[in-house]
Amino acid sequence: MFYLICYDIVEDSRRQRVAKLLQAYGLRVQKSVFEAVLNDNQYEKLQQKLDKMLDSETDQLRFYPLSAHCRNKVAILGIQPKFVVDEQVLIV
């Protein structure tokens, strides 16, 4: 499944750790927005790791699943990403 992942994290060091983890799973398309193709196992593991990193009182992270139909309707204005996240990647 293709996910759009975005976050609002208050503390700089925590935000950097989250961004580093997300970069291992997908492509950063904006400062706090990532795109990733994840299978169910990857999705669950990533959520578990992120849940341990976040402060539930101040931080927020969202996963938006996007169907192929919705992805085809995405409009991008300005700088185009150099890479496209289309296929599932296995992380070892």
pLDDT tens readout for residues 30-73: 999 999 999 999 999 999 999 999 999 999 999 999 998 888 88
Which domains does the chain carry? 2-71 (3.30.70.240)
DSSP class per residue in 4-36 = EEEEE-SSHHHHHHHHHHHHTTSEEEETTEEEE
Distance CA 54, CA 11 (A): 10
Res. 24: pLDDT tops 70: yes
Q: Are 91 and 45 a contacting pair, CB within 8 Å?
A: no
What pLDDT band is residue 76 in, cutting at 50, 70 and 90? confident
pLDDT at 89 over 90: no
